[in-house]
Amino acid sequence: MAFHPSTEPAVFHASLRDQFEVFLDEHRSVLHDSLNGLTEEQAGRSLVASKTTLLGLVKHATFVEKVWFDEAITCRSRAEIGIPGSPDESFDLHDGDTIASVQHAYQQACAASRRATESLTLDDLLRGNRRGPLPLRWVYLHMLRELAQHCGHADILREQVLDDRTRRG
């Protein structure tokens, strides 16, 4: 049974900021761990018409972290940050992409996101997004929505990969 820090009684009465961070980290962990125990082939297997694969989802999540917690905060361009120009490109898998390398890059991006926001308040405006200035509160909510959606995708893809493995075995 999965451990859900967000259901701990201390979180019920924590500050809104702390609650956001617990929920974000819980979703980050679920997405990261969706690759655990899979082979490289399974993680990169294409099961839907889009570019979405389990490995690609975690790569995309790394991109999203950098868009919202680097580009939006520092106002640096995506080229300066070293990320793709579009979300669609962030799903692309390259020869050097492995479960270990993608998980490591994701952990590094999440840690950088935490550092980038540690001195900000929920009402601080992030000025580096194309939508214009946005409060950190909105960015946290957007990230929760994005990560929840991708955790659902990962859950379904992982189920398909594991079900396929049992049918073959």
Q: Mean pLDDT of residues grouped by 10 in the chain (169 residues)?
A: 76 93 97 97 94 97 97 96 96 97 98 97 95 96 97 96 70
- Is 0.85 topped by the overall pTM? yes
DSSP structure class, residue 156 = H
**Which pLDDT score, from 0 to 100, does residue 169 have?**
53
**Which pLDDT score, from 0 to 100, does residue 37 have?**
97
**Which pLDDT score, from 0 to 100, does residue 96 have?**
95
DSSP SS3 for 141? helix
Specify whether the CB–CB gap between 84 and 92 falls below 8 A: yes
**Which pLDDT score, from 0 to 100, does residue 3 have?**
67
**Which pLDDT score, from 0 to 100, does residue 14 have?**
92
Structure tokens given for 38: 């899979």
CA distance linking residue 20 with residue 49, whole number of Å? 33
Specify whether the CB–CB gap between 98 and 52 falls below 8 A: no
Specify whether the CB–CB gap between 56 and 97 falls below 8 A: no
**Which pLDDT score, from 0 to 100, does residue 165 have?**
58
